[in-house]
Each structure stands twice: as structure tokens, then as C-alpha cells.
Amino acid sequence: MPIYEYQCQACGHTMEAMQRMSDQPLTICPQCEQAQLQKIISRSGFQLKGEGWYVTDFKDGKHKKDTGTSSSE
Ligand SMILES: [Zn+2]
């Protein structure tokens, strides 16, 4: 069963929930009880960097972080 990560948009509370794919996503924050919970797509999912490579890259399995001849030195 996959574990989903949620973050409350109202109070910032984060939580994890084990759910089936077919389960309804949670919406009610257990902390402030507002329906502001949003599912976080985390880890190997999407990277919101807006460069367009991430979708195909994700399907390939892993990304390379070592394009690193940039200016870190
Ligand atoms: Zn909350």
C-alpha cells in the first residue's frame, strides 16, 4: 500500500497516510480540522523545476544529479 504525504494548506501540518490507490484522498486536517489537506507528490515523483525533462526522466528510472560542473566552486 502506498504512503501518501499530505500537507495542510491552512496550518502547515504535514502527515503521512497509508491508503489504497482507490481510496479517496484525505481532505480534513487532523490538527485544525479544516478541509485544507493537500496531497504532496514527493520523492521520486515530480520535480517542479519547469524544465520539462522530469517526466521522461522519471519513466527512465532515476535522474542523474551529477551534471555538476556548474559553479559550485
Ligand atoms: Zn491544518
What is the rounded CA–CA span in Å between residue 65 and residue 48? 15
- Residue 25 alpha carbon to ligand 1 centre in Å: 15
Q: Ligand 1 mean position to 24 CA, how many Å? A: 18
CB-based contact 60:40 (threshold 8 Å): no
- Strands 3-8 and 37-40, by their bridges, are antiparallel
Correct CATH for 3-46 of 3.40.1350, 2.20.28, 1.10.3470, 1.10.10: 2.20.28
Give the tens place of pLDDT for each residue, 27-66.
Answer: 999 999 999 999 987 555 445 555 555 555 555 555 566 6
Q: How far is the CA of 4 from the centre of ligand 1 (A)?
A: 16
pTM recorded for the entire structure: 0.54
